[in-house]
Every structure is written in C-alpha cells, then in structure tokens.
Amino acid sequence: MIRLENVSKIYRMGERHIKALDSVSLELKKGDFIAVIGPSGSGKSTLLHIMGLIDTPTGGKIIFDGKDIYGSTYEAKSGKRTGRLKDILHRAGVSEKELTRLRLRKIGFVFQQFYLLPTLTAVENVELPMKEAGIPRKRRRERAIKLLEEVGLGDRTDHYPRQLSGGEQQRVAIARALANNPEIILADEPTGEVDSKTSERIMEIFRKLNEKEKITLVVVTHDPNVAKKADRILRMRDGRIEWDRIS
C-alpha cells in the first residue's frame, strides 16, 4: 500500500538543520497493524505525517498504491538535490488536488488531541469528512449515526464535545476517521489523553477494525501496553528505524 524508500525530513530552525527522519525505508501492506514506539523527538509523528501525505519529505521516495507520490529531484545545472514541493510533485506527476483526494478518500487520521469542532454535535463532527467528499446529506447522516453506534456512542449523537468525556470524544474522532471508508488509519498517541480502561476500549475498536474490516492501522504510542496490541512494532531513534519486529 505504502512504500517509503530512503525518506528524509529536515527542518530548518535558523542556522540549525534538524533531521527528523534519516533515510527511512518502510513498506506498509494491506491489513498490517503496526505500532511505532520510541522516545520523544525520535521521528515517530513525522513518519506518520509523511505516510499520511500531510507533510513533504526533504528527500527519498514515497509510493502509494503503486503510484509515485513524492520523489527527490535534482536541478540539471547544479546537480544539487532539491526538496521544493512543486519540483517533487512535478516529477511524480501528482497534483495538490490529487493529494487532497487521496487523504480524504484513502486515509483516516486520529490524533491525541481530538480536534472536534465545539459548535458541532458528535454526529455533525463525524459528517464533516463526508461533506467535504460531496456525500449527500441524508447518506452522510445515516452513516455518521451508524459509525457512532459502532463505537458505542449511539446515545450521544446529539451531544456537543463539551458534554462528552475525553474517551467519548476520542471515539467520536475514530468514527470521524472512518467516515469515508479509508483503507488506512494513522493514529498519533490516540490513548494519550484517556485513562487505562478507555485506552483498552479504544484498542479493542482498532483491533476489530483491523481483523473484521481489514483496515490497515499504524499507531504511534509511548504506552508499551498499547504497542503490544499490534502485530508488528517499529522502534525509532534519532530519525531512524532502530528495529522492526513481529510482536
């Protein structure tokens, strides 16, 4: 599904260059359930954002569903590598519109901070990605209610985020991530703001999605108990994959 080849990401902070990813190569196959662990600053979240096509690599190559998305380019005269977005997209033949479509249709995101709109109810928050995808109102309302029922919130559809617990808000965020039937869910510390019991419930939802719906999952976590729920664990350090093991 997703293949990274020698992918790097360098952030510039004044005169300093910080290498968040350092020549990372990784293949993500359909049905994988992967946990990514490692200390703060090791590149976990950057890796997730690169895989989710919401951040741009400085170098290397990304292939999504067999199609080149990003690839390092070279300036003909100087021979220097360049990481400018327009150059990378030009070589890969992928427009910004196509990237947006891939993110909207193929990938679901779940973050530590729930990012629910406070002025919308649970069901309205879940409807948002479908609205962006042009799904008719009746169909998106029916699906949003069904998804909330699947995550155990069928009786909370008309509640606003302020009326929900942290665990309930995260389950709304999971339902929202599923709105457009994604093939992949990328979750960044999805249990970081909830208690251990709620964490267990969230991971049960993820396991069910992986086993029954065959949704590919990548979960970034600091919690070893969460990591153990995955089938495969990657440990990152200093922007590199230190090891990659079956759990």
Q: Is residue 186 situated within a structural domain?
A: yes
Q: Please state, in angstroms and rounded to a whole number, the distance separating the CA atoms of residues 44 and 188.
A: 9
pLDDT at 79: 46
Q: Is residue 94 situated within a structural domain?
A: no
Reported in sequence order, the residue ranges of the chain that DSSP labels E, i.e. its strands, are: 2-13, 16-28, 33-37, 59-64, 67-71, 73-74, 81-82, 107-111, 184-188, 216-220, 232-237, 240-246
Helical (H) or strand (E) element with 227: helix 224-227
Q: Is residue 170 situated within a structural domain?
A: yes
pLDDT at 90: 47
Q: Is residue 166 situated within a structural domain?
A: yes
Q: What are phi and psi of 102, to 5 degrees?
A: -60, -45
**Which segments in the chain show pLDDT lower than 50?**
73-79, 87, 89-91
pLDDT at 96: 83
Q: Is residue 2 situated within a structural domain?
A: no
pLDDT at 12: 86
pLDDT at 92: 60
Q: Is residue 174 situated within a structural domain?
A: yes
Q: Is residue 139 situated within a structural domain?
A: yes
pLDDT at 26: 95
Q: Please state, in angstroms and rounded to a whole number, the distance separating the CA atoms of residues 138 and 151.
A: 21
Tally of domains in the chain: 1
What is the DSSP annotation of 89-142?
HHHHT--HHHHHHHHHHHEEEEESS----TTS-HHHHHHHHHHHTT--HHHHHH
Domain hosting residue 112, numbered range:
29-59+103-246
Q: What is the DSSP letter of 175?
A: H
pTM of the model: 0.88
Query: Contact 33/23 with Cβ under 8 angstroms?
Result: no
Q: What is the DSSP letter of 243?
A: E
Query: Contact 112/190 with Cβ under 8 angstroms?
Result: yes
Q: How many CA atoms lie within 13 Å of 208's alpha carbon, on the beta-carbon side?
A: 10
Q: What is the DSSP letter of 57?
A: -
pLDDT at 67: 85
Q: What are phi and psi of 53, to 5 degrees?
A: 65, 30
Q: Is residue 205 situated within a structural domain?
A: yes
CATH number at residue 231: 3.40.50.300
pLDDT at 93: 62
Q: Please state, in angstroms and rounded to a whole number, the distance separating the CA atoms of residues 44 and 226.
A: 15
Query: Contact 218/46 with Cβ under 8 angstroms?
Result: no
Which of 243, 223, 218 is CA-nearest to residue 32? Answer: 218
